[in-house]
Amino acid sequence: MSNTTPLLSIKGITKRFTGITAVDHVSFDIHKNEVHALIGENGAGKSTLCKMLTGAYSIDEGHIEIDGKKVNFKGPADSMKEGINMVYQERNLIGYMTAAQNISLGTEIMKGIIMDQKAIMKRAEDVRERLGVDVPLDVPVEKLGAGAQQLVEIMRAGSTMPKLLILDEPTASLGEGEIEPFLNFVKRLTKELHISVIYITHKLEEIFTIADKVTVMADGKKTMTADIPQITQEECVRAMIRSDKIKAVEVPEKDFSELEKNKILEVQELTYDGRKHAVPFFVCKGEVVGFYGLVGAGRTETMEVISGIRMADKKEFTFDGEVITGGDSYKMIQKGMILTPELRINGIFPTLNLVENVCTLFVRKFATKIGMVKGREGRRFTEDVLKKNGTKYTSKNQLISELSGGNMQKIIIGRSVEVENLKLLTVDEPTAGLDLGAKSEIYLKIRNLADKMQKSVVFISSELEELMKVCDRMYIFYNGDVVKELKRKAFDKEAILGYALGGVGNGR
């Protein structure tokens, strides 16, 4: 171990949000000239931790030290003065400004009271040369691609020559060909310009290429810090997944020829957003069908059109033996089809309590003839739903927004299942932002619906692993169309990724 004072020392910092501890007493050091990878599942607390390092979030407990000196940041401006800069996952640029103007935003060079555009351009050119990147500086950044925008942000963060640069999932928005040059660029930042880097990611391959050290987080806690050559990928994964909380998901083998006799939903083609989409797929009774594809591949859109949420130019499909060509979501729910939305916030009423959140879906059921609400029955029903779904709550009169994401999701799915005469449930990214324990409970719930209750489930997700774990069959979407159907036995990660990236016949 080096005996020099670390550049940044994190000492037991903790952050609590209502109901959850996002970061729980985390400590580790970052040294000079080091690329320090920070990995963990979605919701493990990586971004929250880094936002505390920049002062964007206040620290509830613990503190941080820079060069051995205790610091207290009130906002990003303070941490920038100490040489800490962060590039966030979402793009933070002023679209109409040029790259040069964006780089100098907040630190504009002035000539008297006028901004000196020439000097601002000159500075940007200097930064560009120093970092050795190639980005046009004189066009509005909204006209640039995702990769170039990313570089503009790094140029801005690097323009003040920070000691520590935090990159939050920097390769998430980059295309296949852009990633490798970018990783080399990050390496050069550290080795040549002596900028230490905290590199947040969930792509394990990347960290073995560029990082010197890795810290793993799970459920807000640090599970491991290690030097990179001394550790294997498997050990990282084990640290990310705290296996004690995970429940195994069992998928019984199905006889598909038998299943296919009982198709609930059958679709060939849908026209929406002004384009015809070839989406030949079907869902049988008692099976879980996964929809995989890249973001924007049309998975959500397809099910939204079918559920009557999204406007379609033309639709025709068979549901439960009936040919359907129209109808809004209300009608489709009556027919026995419901969708839980991609964004959890769209599935709840954050300012209402649990009873109201459960019962709004059943206003007819819990209303007298003249429209008065039957309070007692609603409360009893709610209690029933909460209990059946193993929801953790303190009172049924508490606001749903006080619950954790996992418990909210249990309520959303739980009440949807209660829809009278339900045949098909679509869950859209139900596990987004949940920890692994909560995820596994959702998986069990989905399997239970299909296997025990003989309902059909369409499971939309961007996480291929979970689809492979839970589904009986899978459809892969590319550019709005279904390009491949796979049965469980034929699930193969690389092939599926190939279809999702390149469409038909491009499976590697």
Partner 1 sequence: MAGRTKSISTKKGEAVTKYFLLIADVVLIAFFGIMRPGFLQVGNLLDILSTAALVGTMGLGASIVMTVGEMNFGVGAEATLTAAMLGWILGKGNVSVYIIGVLLVLLMAALVGVIDSCFGVIIGVPAFIATLAISKINDGFVNLLTEGKTMFYSNWPPAFKWLGQGYIGPIPVLALIFVIIALLLWFLMDKTRLGAHIQAVGNNKNCCKQVGINVTKIKIIAFIICSLVCGFAGIMASSKTSNVMNTLGSGIMMDAMASAMLGATFLRPGRYNVQGTVVAAVLTAIISNGITFCAYPDYVQNIVNGIILLLAVGYIAMTRKEGLPSVKMG
Binding mask 142-181 for partner 1 (x = CB under 8 A): --------------x-------------------------
DSSP for 57-114? S--SEEEEEETTEEE--SSHHHHHHTTEEEE-SS----TTSBHHHHHTTTS--EETTE
366 binds partner 1, rule: CB under 8 A: no
Could you list the beta-strand ranges (E) of 234-342.
Answer: 263-272, 275-284, 288-292, 314-319, 322-324, 337-340
Q: Cα separation of 55 and 318, whole Å?
A: 54
Exactly one of 58, 72, 94, 268 binds partner 1 (CB under 8 A); that residue is: 94
DSSP 474: E
Decide: helix, strand or coil at residue 215. strand
Q: Which of 273, 377, 402, 485 lies at the binding interface for partner 1 (CB under 8 A)? A: 273
Candidates 31-39, 76-84, 243-251, 365-373: pick the segment binding partner 1 (CB under 8 A). Answer: 76-84
Q: 245 or 310, CB closer to partner 1?
A: 310
When the beta carbons of 170 and 507 are compared against partner 1, the nearer one is 170
Under rule CB under 8 A, residue 372 binds partner 1? no
Q: How far is the CB of 403 from partner 1 (least distance, A)?
A: 25
- Residue from 4, 17, 70, 96 touching partner 1 (CB under 8 A): that is 96
In this structure, what token pair is assigned to residue 150? 């990313």
From the list 456, 446, 423, 421, the residue with the least C-alpha distance to 259 is 456
Which residue from 97, 193, 224, 497 is in contact with partner 1, where contact means CB under 8 A?
Answer: 97
Report angle CA 459, 45, 157 to the nearest 5 degrees: 110
Instruction: State the Cα–Cα distance between residues 318 and 295, nearest whole angstrom.
Output: 27
Among 49, 93, 124, 474, binds partner 1 (CB under 8 A): 93
Instruction: Work out how close the CB of 115 gets to partner 1 at its nearest, in angstroms, rounded to a whole number.
Output: 6
Identity of the residue, 90 or 253, whose beta carbon is nearer to partner 1 in the bound complex: 90
State yes or no: residue 463 binds partner 1 (CB under 8 A). no
Mark the segment that binds partner 1 (CB under 8 A) among 106-114, 168-176, 338-346, 358-366. Answer: 106-114
Q: State the Cα–Cα distance between residues 143 and 145, nearest whole angstrom.
A: 7
Per-residue interface string for the shown chain with partner 1, residues 292-321, x marking contact by CB under 8 A: -------------------x----------
Q: CA nearest 426: which of 325, 346, 340, 314?
A: 340
| Alpha carbons 417 and 423: distance in angstroms, whole number | 9
From residue 25 to residue 64, the character string flagging contacts with partner 1 as x (rule: CB under 8 A) and all else as - is -------------------------------x--------
* Beta strands per DSSP E along 397-440: 424-428
Does residue 13 touch partner 1 according to CB under 8 A? no
Toward partner 1, which CB reaches closer, 48 or 391? 48
| Residue 180: CB minimum distance to partner 1, A | 27
Which residues, in sequence order, are bridge partners of residue 213?
36, 227
**Nearest-angstrom CA–CA distance, 65 and 13:** 11
274 is a site residue for partner 1 (CB under 8 A):
yes
If residue 223 lies in a helix (H) or strand (E), which one and from where to where?
strand 221-227
Q: How far is the CB of 216 from partner 1 (least distance, A)?
A: 27
Rule CB under 8 A: say whether 80 interacts with partner 1: yes
Helix axes 176-191, 146-158, angle to 10 degrees: 10
**Closest CB to partner 1 among residues 278, 311:** 311
**In the chain, how many H helices and how many E strands?**
17, 22
Give the 3-state secondary structure of residue 499: helix
Say whether residue 110 binds partner 1 (CB under 8 A). Answer: yes
Regarding 107 and contact with partner 1 (CB under 8 A), the answer is yes
The residue with tokens 């910092």 is 13
Query: In the bound complex, what is the minimum distance in angstroms from residue 507's beta carbon to partner 1?
Result: 30
| Binding residues vs partner 1 (CB under 8 A) | 56, 75-77, 80, 86, 88, 90, 92-97, 101, 105-108, 110, 113-115, 156, 273-274, 311
